[in-house]
Amino acid sequence: MNPIFTLTSQEFDKQKNTLNLIASENYPSSKVLNLLGSIWSNKYAEGYPGKRYYAGNFFSDQLELMVQQKALQVFDTTGEYGVNVQVLSGSPANAMVFLSILNPGDTIMSLNIDNGGHISHLHMTSSWLRFFKLINYDVSQTGIDPDSFEIDIDDFRAKIIANKPKLVIIGFSAYPRQYKFAQMCQIAHDQGCFVLADIAHINGLVAAGLHDTPFQSGDSGADFVSMTTHKTLRGPRGAMLFAKNYWPAYLDKYTNEFQPDKTKPIKSLIEIIDRTVFPGTSGGPHLHQMAAVGQCLLEILGEDQYPDNLSFKDYSQKVIENCQILEQTLQSNGLPIISPTQTHLCLIKLPETLDSLKVQLNLESLGIITNRNKIPFDTKSAWRPSGLRLGTAALTSRGMTGDQFQNLGGLISDSILNRKSVDQITKESLELANSLNWWY
């Protein structure tokens, strides 16, 4: 048998028969997957609608314009944003912002990766440090709970004033609390900084109106908003990059830098992004991926339906509620929670004597897929950190209920704290997986 098809079949069975708690994964509809393998993959569409460098793009133009329109319909209530749907994934989307507005030696400020930031926002081994300087803002303990941490707004403000970064990134990979976008954007814009909001993890919650949004008017909104499409948005692996469709007054000090030729004025931030994506860095867009993104947007808007027959808002509300149930169960079973969740993910602190890599591998052997993760001010290495990150978007897509998440939290606790036999946990996790919907 063809070895590629063999591996695909094995992966199919693995996904169906395991319990996926990876916070950055989900299960798109079969329509999304079908479009990824559709004839759109055959077409080369270098350029933008109405200005392609190859012939035969009449329908490609219509597709791209429709996906742009649906993306703005889902996210932008201000009318102040444009969107590029040719970016291929999240980290390259962030890179497009860097290449659009930064010069070698400029400073980027982002959330410390050890305390919840993302690798694409720069870190100590990032290749981008060959070109840019990095400073971090941090989290601090709050009065919510002994182990609760939130963005330290005072630190955020002080670092901006002291370091004058050209670009401030508001975004995370492992931060369970809500961002306060308007406040943070306003602080950065008051100091003349560009702001990139990376909402790769929470964009589905933003689209459902269940999380604060960076799509706001004037200097209360982010200048650029990047996102992936395969996490809480429940689409294909892909990305979108939004930017203001005008030149904000608070960025006037950069006007001459970006508009040296007065006969060809740059009128908007999205224009700069578009030029960087094509022809600045990329060739032909992946139309099959673009079509699949469009399908997930139709499902969010209610113009088509995900097979669970829930509205996207109801689905997203269940994601949050299930995450809260899961973390409460883990906490009641003796596993400390890092900051009560307001999103689709939660962080737990493992017992000091345990090796998080071994915990992750052991849970995988039992049919429970998780990922180890650093927790705020972790003293352990990134390879063997102190915590575990769990997300509920994927299993909620398979129809897992609150009671079932409670059962799953018990199984995880029984495994970590060695309170039940391996055979029994394996049996129960497989039974739970097989009781869930499987849409393929």
Active site residues: 44, 46, 198, 228, 231, 237
* Torsion sign, CA atoms 33, 38, 40, 41: positive
How many other CB atoms are there within 10 angstroms of residue 249's CB atom?
10
What one-character DSSP code corresponds to residue 11? H
- Return d(Cα 385, Cα 354) in angstroms, integer: 10
* Diameter over CA atoms, the chain: 74
Backbone φ and ψ of 19, nearest 5°: -105, 105
Q: Are 189 and 160 spatial neighbours (Cβ–Cβ below 8 Å)?
A: no
- Return d(Cα 178, Cα 171) in angstroms, integer: 10
Strand 139-141 versus strand 133-137 pairing type: unpaired
**Pick from 365, 358, 361: nearest CA to 426:** 365
Q: Are 326 and 405 spatial neighbours (Cβ–Cβ below 8 Å)?
A: yes
Tokens at 107, concatenated: 């400073």
Strand 133-137 versus strand 107-111 pairing type: parallel
Q: Point out which residues pair with 107 in neighbouring strands.
A: 133
Whole-angstrom distance between the N-terminal and C-terminal Cα of the chain? Answer: 22
How many other CB atoms are there within 10 angstroms of residue 78's CB atom?
16
Torsion of CA 303, 308, 313, 317, to 10 degrees: -170
